[in-house]
Amino acid sequence: MLIGEVARRSGVSARMLRHYDALGLVRPTGRTVSGYREYADEDIRRIFHVESLRSLGLSLRQIGQVLDDPGFTPSALIGDLIRESEARLSRERELLRRLRAVDASEPSGWEEVLGIVELLHGLGSPSAARRQRAALAPDAGAPASLLAEAILAESDPHVAGALRWALARTGRDTAAGLAPGLDSPDVEVRRRAARALAEMPGEEAAAALAEALADPDTEVRGHAALALGARGEPGAVPALLGMVVEGANDVEAAEILGAMARGGEAAELIRGALVGEFTAAEDAAVRLRLVQAAAELPSALALEVLPRLARDEDRTVARTAAALAGVIEERLRGEASDS
C-alpha cells in the first residue's frame, strides 16, 4: 500500500508518515520500482500502535523504546505520564483561575490587568508578609470573588484578617463566594468560611450561617451562633446554649443570650431552653455555667429562673444561683430607691 493510501485510511498525514520513517519509528517494508514507499500490513499495524501510544502522551522517542524493546515494562513510564498530566492540569487550572479573576475585575485597560496579575502573584506568594501586603495595598482593586477564594485558602491568621478587611472594603455582598467553604470536608476551610461570613451583613450571609449551625465542629457552630445571635435570630438559641454547656466562648454566648432576651421575642424560648439544659446536665460545672448565663438575662426573667436553680443538689451551684439572685434583687432595690 502506497503512502497516500495509508494516509487516507489511517488518518495520519503523509508528512507525518515520512517523519516516522526518518526517525526509524515506522519504516515501510518495501519500495516500488519507482522508489515510492510501500507499506505492508504489519507496517500499518505499527502505525496504529504509534498513534495509540501518542494518545497517552508518550513522546515519539518513548514510543520507539516501547515498541522496540519487548521486555519494556509500562508501569514506571505510565506513572511518569500521570504525574506530568497532573502537573499540566494544575498549571491549566491556575491559568483559568487567573483569567477568571481578571475577567471578574472588569478591567478598562491593560494597566488594570497587570495590577490584577501582580495581586495574584502577591496572594500566591509563599511569604505570609507578602500576602498580607498584597491584601492591604490601597490600590489593589481586588475582585471580591478573588478575595473570598484567598480567605478560604489562607492559613495565617494575620493574613486572613487582612483579607477579610479587604473584602469588607469592596462593599459587595460576597457571601456566595464564601458559602461553598462551609461544605468543605476540610474543617479548617469551614472555620475560615464561617468566621468571614460572621463578619458580613446581609441575608445571604445569614442564610449560610444558619446552615452552619448544624456543623459538627464546635468552632464553626460558634462563629455562626454568635453572629446570628447578635442579629437576634431565635434559631441561634440552641447553639448558643450549647456553647455555654460545652464551655466554648460561654461568656460571650451568655451575654448574647441576655441581649436577645431583652428584645422580648426570644425571652420565653431562652428561659425554657436554659432550664431544660440545666435539668439535663449531669456535670455540676455545666450547671454552674448555666447559672451564670441565667444571671445575664433581664432582671425579671433572671429572678424567675435563679431561685429554681438555687435548689440544685450541688452546694456550689445552689449558693451561686442564690447569691446572683440576691445581687439582682439588691440592684433593683437600689434603682427603686434612687427613683
Look up the domain containing 285 and give its range: 232-339
Scored b (16 or more CB within 10 A) or e, 16-40 reads: bbeebbeeebbebeeeeeeeebebe
In this structure, the number of other CB atoms found within 10 A of the CB of residue 338 comes to: 6
Angle between helix axes 3-10 and 14-23 (nearest 10 degrees) is 110
Minimum mean pLDDT among 121-125, 215-219, 228-232, 320-324: which range? 121-125
Q: Which of 39, 45, 54, 52 is nearest to 4 (CA)?
A: 39
Question: What is the three-class DSSP state of 291?
Answer: helix
51-94 tens-digit pLDDT? 988 888 888 988 888 888 877 777 778 888 888 888 888 888 87
What are 82-87's contacts with CB under 8 Å, separation 24+?
Answer: 84/57, 85/57
CATH of the domain at 23: 1.10.1660.10
Percent above pLDDT 90 for the chain: 53
Q: Cα 223 to the chain's mean position, in Å?
A: 15
257, containing H or E segment: helix 250-262
Q: Is residue 47 part of a domain?
A: yes
User: HSE-up of 120 (CA within 13 Å, CB side)?
Assistant: 19
Which pLDDT tens digit goes with each residue over 3-44? 988 898 888 999 999 999 999 899 898 888 888 889 999 999
The confidence score (pLDDT) of residue 141 equals 61
Phi, then psi, of 205 in degrees rounded to 5: -65, -40
Angle between helix 218-230 and 250-262 (nearest 10)? 30
| 26 found inside a domain | yes
The CA-to-CA distance between both ends of the chain, in Å, stands at 114
Rounded-to-integer distance, Cα 147 and Cα 295, Å:
41
pLDDT band at 101; cut points 50, 70, 90: confident
Residue 246 lies in a domain: yes
> Is residue 68 a part of any domain in this protein?
yes
Rounded to the nearest 5°, which phi and psi values hold at 70? Answer: -60, -25
Q: Is residue 86 in some structural domain?
A: no
Q: How many CA atoms lie within 13 A of 294 on its CB side?
A: 35
The number of domains in the chain is 2
The residue out of 72, 90, 115 marking a domain boundary is 72
* End position of a domain, from candidates 21, 47, 72: 72
Q: Please indicate, yes or no, if residue 198 is contained in any of the structural domains.
A: no
Query: Could you tell me if 196 and 165 are in contact, meaning their C-beta atoms sit under 8 angstroms apart?
Result: no
Q: What is the phi/psi pair of residue 23, to 5°?
A: -80, -10
pLDDT score of 301 more than 80? yes
Cα(242)–Cα(239) distance, integer angstroms: 5
Q: Is the Cβ–Cβ distance between 181 and 195 less than 8 Å?
A: no
Task: Give the rounded percent of residues in the chain with a pLDDT score beyond 70.
Answer: 97
**Locate cell 497587570: which residue?**
114
**Dist. CA 188–CA 178, nearest whole Å:** 13
Write the burial class of residue 60 (CB in 10 Å: 0-12 exposed, 13-18 middle, 19+ buried). Answer: middle
Instruction: Select the more confidently predicted residue: 101 or 136.
Output: 136
Mean pLDDT of the chain: 89
Helix (H) or strand (E) holding 3, with range, is helix 3-10
User: Where among 72, 95, 127 does a domain terminate?
Assistant: 72
Residue 112 forms part of a structural domain: no
Using one digit for the tens of pLDDT, what is the confidence trace for 139-197? 656 778 888 889 999 999 999 999 998 888 877 667 888 999 999 999 999 999 999 99
For residue 107, the model assigns a pLDDT of 74
What pLDDT was estimated at residue 139? Answer: 64
**Does residue 278 form part of some domain?**
yes
Number of H helices, E strands in the chain: 19, 2
Query: What integer pLDDT is reported at residue 87 of this predicted model?
Result: 87
Q: For position 339, what pLDDT does the model report? A: 63
